[in-house]
A and B are shown apart, each in its own frame.
Chain A
């Protein structure tokens, strides 16, 4: 089925460890996004990409890096995990500027940093 796939679904990290979250979409979408979801705060944009090879900062980029080497993949990296990065991370994608269908979301990655 077409859509957005996130891996892994769950992860527990120790403070200071690093990891990469992978987002893959097979809809040929230009735009991709990483959000974090925390209770009562809705979804906050971490980084986004408007096309292969491009990335930009969102609302809460500190402590994260991203890469979009291939159009279908958008990677989110944590270089040195902190407990404040415990959250549920969602990837989403959409068409270009003339889109009209909202975002397609992945099912999320639940990350706990201890």
Chain B
């Protein structure tokens, strides 16, 4: 069965600083990978996804992620964080059974002024 690990539960960065959120997955075949963002009191919104092809994918809100098969990773990055980026971020992998997504435990991002 597939699994996703987000090693960092909380991350705090200063506004304007760069950001990298880590995601490691376990899946036997070529994975379909996703990053979602959840603002306080809201549902999850899709940031970006990787299915195949170019391993660097661009998403909304200036985010990007890089798929590295050799490291089983799909880290999320942003060059310059804005205060509005404070939220919880979830990495997910799609498994074999139907369209089921397995989510990581999430990383809560706090942004300092």
Contacts and interface: CB of A to CB of B under 8 A. Distances in A.
Nearest to B101: A103
B43 A106 contact: yes
A41 B4 CA distance: 11
Contacts, number: 59
Interface size bracket, B side: 20 to 34
18 contacts: A31-B98, A31-B99, A33-B100, A40-B9, A40-B105, A42-B4, A42-B90, A42-B106, A43-B44, A43-B90, A48-B100, A58-B100, A94-B99, A99-B99, A100-B51, A101-B49, A102-B49, A108-B41
Sorted from nearest, which 8 A-B pairs have the closest CB atoms?
Answer: A105-B43, A102-B46, A42-B103, A43-B103, A42-B105, A105-B44, A107-B43, A42-B106
Interface of A: 4, 31, 33, 35, 40-45, 48, 50, 56, 58, 90, 92, 94, 96-97, 99-103, 105-108
